[in-house]
Structure 1
Amino acid sequence: MKTLVLDIGTSGLRAAIVHPDGSLSDLHYESFPPHSPAPGLVEFDASAMYEAVHRVACKALEQHDVTAVGLTCQRASTIVWRASTGQPVGPGLGWQDLRTVGECIMMRHTHGIAVAPNQTATKASWILKNLLNDDERHSNDILIGTVDTWLVWKLTRGAAHVTDHTNAAVTGLTVASGIQWDETTCAAFDILPTQLPRIVDTMGFIADASDLPGTPPLMAIAGDQQASLVGQGCITPGQAKITFGTGGMLDVYVGEHTPTQSSRSSAGTFPIVAFSRDQQLHYGTEAIMLSAGSNIEWLCHDMGLIATPEESDAIAASCASSHGVMYVPALVGLGTPYWDYGARGSLFGITRGTTRAH
């Protein structure tokens, strides 16, 4: 029994075959970085994303028949599309996109709804209000989803418009438990619940992936951080993992106790759904660093201070200390514990003697 696993990150995507003993083979990767057309904006081409996912999936399946497909994705990045054509309405908005900071502030003051720009709620609302007219915006032909929802819809050729609890709970549109959509919140954002995906368990049969060779069943969906939490064996309360990718996320497994609120705590952490099975939800809490590996990519691709990300280690090791040079990694604001979206990346302590290594 082999499983095809699809891992869709913020800057790249991969497919691999997982064997019964847990080993991996046929790993295929494609870089897929988002675009930043202006400061604070982070966008991606959802159609091109699916084409890349389909390519790596088919490559992994060339030598194997699989009995299941598992999907893990970046969370909260948002796509709106027309069911009748399968075409996205404008670009997808990445989870790091900050264009809706003002709307988040307004929603807190006018409706008492605490939502962050790195959640789905204001991203979907922005697309609906800015890229569609009134008639289109309230049409059931318009579908809304996060990356997992979009990819499942494409993999099943439109048969399944779903998301799982781990992804739904970070949209800002569910009740505190994350088990269902909050109709009051949806109404405040002028989003029809019928435009949102059906929420399903993380584990269990979801639909057949008819757009893949052999039509294997899709058996699991999870947000990337929750997938790594469970994958690292953190299923006892108090166990934790930290992941550094585009961002940095520290997650702690809490258990089956339902959180009392869906918004962030005074410490700047968020409750999350760790996974769900048979409609039983398991929870965790998460701290977020908005820019981690993306800082290294910025130094490489935009600033030209290093040729490759790997070079950063050798250059940093070439000097004994930073000699007072400090860097604030706030390329898209600061996350836990400050949650300051107005913060910007800064270098301090630069002198005439400062070099690339410092």
Structure 2
Amino acid sequence: MAPGRAGRGGGLRDRRRHRWRPPTGDGDRPQRRRRCSRLHRARRGRHRAPGARRLGSARLRGSDLRAPCRRLPVDGRPRGLRRHARQGPPGRPPAEQERTAVSVLVIDVGTSGVRAAVVNGDGAVEHVRHRHVLPTSPAPGFVEFDAREMADAALAVAHEALQALGPRGAVEGVGIANQRASTIVWDRATGKPVGPGIGWQDLRTVGTCLALQADGIRLAPNASATKAAMLLDLADPDRSADLCIGTVDSWIAWTLAAGRLHVTDATNAGVTGLLRADASGWASHVLEALRIPEAALPTIVDSSGVVGEAEALPGSPPIAGIAGDQQASLVGQGATRAGLAKVTFGTGGMLDLCVGPERPAFEARGPQGTFPIVAWRRHGRLTWGLEAVMLSAGTAVEWLRDDLGLIASAEESDRVAAACPDTGDVWFVPALLGLGTPVWDFGARGTLVGITRGTGRAEVVRAVLEGVAHRGADLVESAEADGDTAIASLRVDGGMSANATFVQALADATGRAVEVSPVLEATTLGAAYLAGLALGTWTDEDDIANRWSPARVVEPGRAVDRERWRAARDRALATVPELSSLQF
């Protein structure tokens, strides 16, 4: 037999049998042969469509991304790549095969780490592996990360999750979910980043945003546009180098495809600040103002659809789903019908409302501070949504833990807050990074009011949880107003959704039932659903919606004083007037 090739972590790849197996130490004898799909056979020269080009077989080792980029044609479909066909186990009815034969690997890149998991045809999330990739803050308002470390972590956890599958260690496709708007610039020939990755929370380009505002171009500092321009100014002032610009999904797709794909999906493109309002392509007037070469930008592709092969993984499964984390969470919680909404409470908080095929009427920001977003794109057709933004959510709990020392862990906040029945009229406004929807004031700052001699640890911790809950209610009210729709119940996920005191406070503040996701991080499930739609695992968006089943439903338990909350919120505004003047 042909010898296997060493891959990441010392495992061997048996080229003839196309499966990944760990070194055995006993002569490296092949294990059970896995049935190959049509796509895998096509890569070896069989069943290739007439005129189809064979995709390269380069493999990544760590962060060695030296293969040249293969740009996609305008329609976003790679030449020569046929629809991935799959077969279920023999002897089972077709309907059962549809649910059991497919597993999807998801790589989910968050703000603080990288997760990989395998999602099976029943929607169960298995074999979760995680690596911390923490951002740094070299100066006030700066947020950076190491893109090379991120790529290494993504490959490591992906291989670990696949190896955990054991004898059936193969997946039919790959989905990607990612923190949005964080920006990376790298050399197309070498695959090496030319500077640090710039996190979505980074505010160093506020001055650029203010200057552009005077010229009639309104960009938010947390969008990718000014971050990309800043990185280009540092690495390529005269714009002569052959560089790639991308958000995290672009970087991970490039990594998985051994440098042969430079793509982004419509959900990620939509939050760069560089996309046309109708999502039909890149906005040339913004590119010109920032001196961003369009050739350096990725091809925009469907959120659900096969775009290329993950050649850095065993079996080279197709990359079939890509979405920004919030849109992936929307899909993962089954909110794929107009009028359904979810809120993800992570570092920040994001409410996303599914609107449907028609774009919201306002071009940029609605009267109540929400934004039109691409919820997903499938078969070239857009589904639109509205997004309302909370800049600080879990960050406020981290402040209690890391800076004040009032709790030893985020989980302890639930127990400590439950020790008192209420805050004693103490109000906390979580504006540690400014306030988003509905007021949008980057100069607002965190505020704690109503403290008396009787205020203790429990009251302060509870005030923080209730403050985040009231901000959640702000998002709901704004989305209902700008979307001209009623949100009957609210679906929630993210780390704070495991906090019982917080979830009850959210139900009280919003005055409606809160449905808690059965999966803490629904982004992973959503990316799997999008990939599975492309692979035929699930039939359509209604199929996804019908699969929703919350872990628990929390009903409102008491009335709250929302006017009192708004008065406290107003006191947090314009603390830093220079930043408060930024409008977009």
TM over 0.5: yes
Deviation by residue 1:100-120 (Cα, 9 ceiling, x = unmatched):
12211211211x112111111
Counterpart residue number, 2:300: 199
Match of 2:462 in 1: none
Residues 348 and 36 of structure 1: is their aligned pair in 2 closer, same or farther, counting only changes over 3 Å? farther
- What SS class does the counterpart of residue 117 from structure 2 fall into? strand
Q: Secondary structure of the equivalent of 1:357?
A: helix
Partner of residue 45, structure 1: 146
1:329 deviates by 1.0
Name the CA distance, whole Å, in 2 between partners of 1:304 and 1:34. Answer: 21
Q: Do the aligned residues in 1 keep the contact of 2:369 with 2:438 (CA within 8 Å)? A: yes
Structure 1 residue 241, shift from structure 2 partner: 1.1
Residue in structure 1 matching 2:379, options 275, 278, 283: 278
Q: CA deviation at 1:140?
A: 4.9
Q: Which residue of 1 aligns with 2:162?
A: 61
Superposed displacement of residue 352, structure 1: 3.7
Contact 2:195–2:235 (CA<8 Å) still a contact in 1? no
The structural deviation recorded for 1:261 is 5.0
Structure 1: gaps of 5 or more residues: none
* Aligned position for 1:132: 235
**CA offset at residue 262 of structure 1?**
4.5
Give CA deviations for 1:88-141 in whole Å, capped at 9, x if unaligned: 12211111111112211211211x112111111111112222x22423xx1351
Alignment match, 1:184: 285
Structure 1 residue 343: Cα displacement:
1.5
1:254 aligns to 2:394 (yes or no): no
Question: SS at 1:21's partner residue?
Answer: coil
Structure 2: gaps (5+ residues): 1-101, 460-584
- Identity percentage of aligned residues: 55
Tell me if the contact between 1:11 and 1:246 (Cα under 8 Å) persists in the aligned partners: no
In structure 2, what is the equivalent of residue 103 of structure 1? 208
2:181 is matched with: 76
Deviations along 1:271-309, whole A, 9 cap, x unmatched?
A: 000111111111000000011112212322333221111
Q: How far 1:26 sits from its partner (Å)?
A: 0.5
> Aligned partner of 1:6: which letter?
I
Matched, 1:87 2:188: no
CA displacement 1:41-76 (0-9 Å, x = unmatched): 211111111111111111100022001000011111
Cα contact 2:401–2:407 (8 A) shared by 1: yes
Task: Report whether the alignment pairs 1:269 with 2:376.
Answer: no
Q: Structure 1 303/85 Cα, relative in aligned 2: closer, same or farther at 3 Å?
A: farther
Quick check: 1:175–1:262 contact (8 Å CA) kept in 2? no
Range moving further from structure 2, 208-217 or 347-356: 347-356
In structure 2, the residue corresponding to 1:61 is in which secondary structure?
A: helix
Q: In 2, distance between residues paired with 1:2 and 1:273?
A: 26
User: Quick check: 283-292 or 336-345, which moved more?
Assistant: 336-345
Over aligned residues, Cα RMSD in angstroms?
A: 1.5
- Tell me if structure 2 keeps the 8 A contact 1:72–1:222: yes
Counterpart residue number, 1:333: 434
Residue-pair matches, total:
354
Find 1:290's aligned residue among 391, 412, 416.
391
In the alignment, residue 36 of structure 1 is paired with which amino acid? S
1:323 equivalent to 2:424? Answer yes
Check the 8 A contact 2:104/2:120 in 1, yes or no.
yes
SS in structure 1 of the partner of residue 313 of structure 2: coil
CA apart distance, 1:216: 1.1
TM-score (norm 2): 0.59
Deviation at 1:184, TM superposition (A): 1.2
Larger Rg: 2
Contact persistence 1:269–1:287 (CA under 8 A): yes
Q: Which residue of 1 aligns with 2:111?
A: 10
Please give the secondary structure, in 2, of the residue aligned with 1:234: coil
Residues 213-237 of structure 1 show CA distances to partners (whole Å, capped at 9, x for unaligned) of 2211100100111111122222221
Q: Which structure has the highest helix share of the two?
A: 2
Aligned twin of 2:479: none
Structure 1 173/262 Cα, relative in aligned 2: closer, same or farther at 3 Å?
Answer: farther
**Structure 2 match to 1:120:** 224
Structure 2 counterpart SS, 1:257: coil
AA aligned to 2:235 is L
Distance 2:370 2:443 in 1: 19
Aligned equivalents of 2:241 and 2:260: distance in 1? 15
Distance 1:324 1:260, change over 3 A: closer
Distance (whole Å) between structure 1 residues aligned to residue 274 and residue 338 of structure 2 = 26
Counterpart CA distance in 1 for 2:298 and 2:221 is 20
Is residue 313 of structure 1 aligned with residue 418 of structure 2? no
Distance 2:207 2:297 in 1: 23
* 1:311-352 deviation line (CA, Å, top 9, x unaligned): 111111112222233222112111111111111223223344
Structure with a larger share of its residues in strand: 1
Structure 1 CA distance, aligned partners of 2:363 and 2:436? Answer: 17
Equivalent pair of 1:172/1:262 in contact (CA under 8 Å) = no
Tell me which stretches of 4 or more aligned residues in structure 1 moved more than 6 Å: none
Note the 1:153-232 alignment, pairs <5 A: 153-232=254-333
| Residues 303, 141 of structure 1: alpha-carbon distance in 2 compared, 3 angstrom cutoff | farther
Could you list the per-position Cα deviations for residues 168-212 of structure 1 after superposition, in whole angstroms to 9, with x for gaps in the alignment? 011110111123101111111111111110000111111111111
Secondary structure of the residue that 2:328 maps to in structure 1? helix
Secondary structure of the residue aligned to 2:331 is: helix
8 Å CA contact 2:359–2:372 kept in 1: the answer is: no
Distance of 1:285 and 1:177 partners within structure 2: 14
Q: Evaluate the alpha carbon distance shift between residue 262 and residue 178 of structure 1 in structure 2; reply closer, same or farther with a 3 A threshold.
A: farther
